[in-house]
Amino acid sequence: MSSAWLLPEHIADVLPHEARRIEELRRILLDAARGYGYELVMPPLLEHLESLLSGTGRALDLRTFKLVDQLSGRTLGVRADTTPQVARIDAHLLNRAGLTRLCYCGPVLHTLPAGPDSTREPLQFGAEIYGHAGLEADLEVHELALECLGRARVESLVMDLADARFVQGALVGVTLSPVQGDALRAALASKDQAELEALTADLPAMNREALRLLPALFGGDEVLEIARARLPNNTLITAALDDVQWLATHLRRDYPSLRLGFDLADLSGYAYYSGTRFAIYSAGGTDALVRGGRYDNVGAVFGRRRAAVGFSLDLKSVVEHVRFDGRRAAIRAPWSEDTALRAAVRRLREMGEAVVCVLPGHEHEADEFECDRELVAVNGQWVICAR
């Protein structure tokens, strides 16, 4: 019989040392988003399943926990990604005619972990722009993502640019079943050349050659040159190449220390992406810290197709790369029934100070706060002294 206190696999408590660092990071990211004019929304943790999954593809369905609502008898889902919820809020609750900038931060739940060391309960932060189809919105989202990581002091960043239209353009004229499409995208995402060759064996030569070339289009500026020379010359691919090049030019100008590359077969994440995509890594890292891009069709299932672009990240993953400890300076105070002491403690807390009262018998115990000052009695007055 298993112990009652054991948690499910890939589910863990967040203890004080890590929790304070995550909370510090959460505040940094929300402040960064607010500085760009993003409004905070707080969608519910669960919704009717069709609302959570409509238009998102099979991958999100497989990652979503389902349960039956005892009030209505309908199937509910625990969100595995917040973007569909924010699209619903934009489409139905806000319903603004112009631009809308929204951000969020809350837990999501996955049926399976993304990797052997991944949590099934990420703490997802994201920011999204609705209502602008131009690349200016894509660039703003890139800038905010970099700003967030910069404020968190995550250094030596690497950004890969991609676009969903490269695969769409390589499949022009080809009709695939949902199962075939999922298998093909999985092979491209994992760069499984053998599987890709098997899946494309019966496709027309132009499509087959383009799809088999995509996994090799990973690297520097030479990638775009090869793509222009060897991929089909159709409107989807040409527009994707032009847009990726425009973004790269602006990012290099504004972020000269950013290492920028291209991965034209990058399909990681969810199926709702429709245009430019990006991923940000720490130097030497294999798992993206941030993923984002354009998903203009995500609101269509809610009756309002709006241009949309955004990004998300998992605070639990990003916090592993930050340098701050999260400790806050505090004042140590004795516990006493002395009314002057108790009044002094209240005044300090009202001023925003953290005051840790040492309860009787615990005077020599360590705590989670960095008590660099102490409240002591001097000539009948309670004053703050350095420790």
Judgement on whether residues 243 and 305 belong to the same structural domain of the protein: yes
Residue 83 marked ligand-binding = yes
Task: From 320, 344, 362, give the residue that closes a domain.
Answer: 320
Judgement on whether residues 297 and 197 belong to the same structural domain of the protein: yes
Q: What is the mean pLDDT of residues 303-320?
A: 93
Q: What is the mean pLDDT of residues 312-321?
A: 96
Residue 128 marked ligand-binding = yes
Task: From 265, 288, 320, give the residue that closes a domain.
Answer: 320
Judgement on whether residues 340 and 314 belong to the same structural domain of the protein: no
Distance CA 343, CA 338 (A): 9
Q: What is the CATH number of the domain that holds 211?
A: 3.30.930.10
Judgement on whether residues 241 and 283 belong to the same structural domain of the protein: yes
* Residue 214 banded pLDDT, cuts 50, 70, 90: very high
In the chain, % of residues over pLDDT 70: 97
Asked whether residue 1 is assigned to any structural domain, the reply reads: no
Residue 281 marked ligand-binding = no
Number of alpha helices (DSSP H) and beta strands (DSSP E) in the chain? 13, 16
Distance CA 142, CA 247 (A): 9
Number of domains in the chain: 2
Residue 209 marked ligand-binding = no
Residue 82 marked ligand-binding = yes
| Alpha-carbon separation of residue 212 from 160, 197, 202, 236 (angstroms) | 20, 7, 13, 18
Residue 160: name the closest of 266, 231, 71, 78 by CA. Answer: 266
Judgement on whether residues 335 and 303 belong to the same structural domain of the protein: no
Task: From 320, 348, 376, give the residue that closes a domain.
Answer: 320
Judgement on whether residues 37 and 118 belong to the same structural domain of the protein: yes
Judgement on whether residues 126 and 264 belong to the same structural domain of the protein: yes
Residue 48: name the closest of 29, 67, 24, 35 by CA. Answer: 67
Q: What is the mean pLDDT of residues 220-245?
A: 96
Asked whether residue 9 is assigned to any structural domain, the reply reads: no
pLDDT digits (tens, 9 = 90+) for 54-79: 766 677 888 999 999 999 999 999 99
State the DSSP string of 314-327. EHHHHGGG------
Mean pLDDT of the chain: 92
pLDDT of residue 2 exceeding 70, the answer is no
> Which range of residues forms the domain containing residue 217?
16-320
Judgement on whether residues 243 and 347 belong to the same structural domain of the protein: no
The predicted structure's pLDDT at residue 304: 80
pLDDT digits (tens, 9 = 90+) for 121-134: 999 999 999 999 99
pLDDT of residue 300 exceeding 80, the answer is no
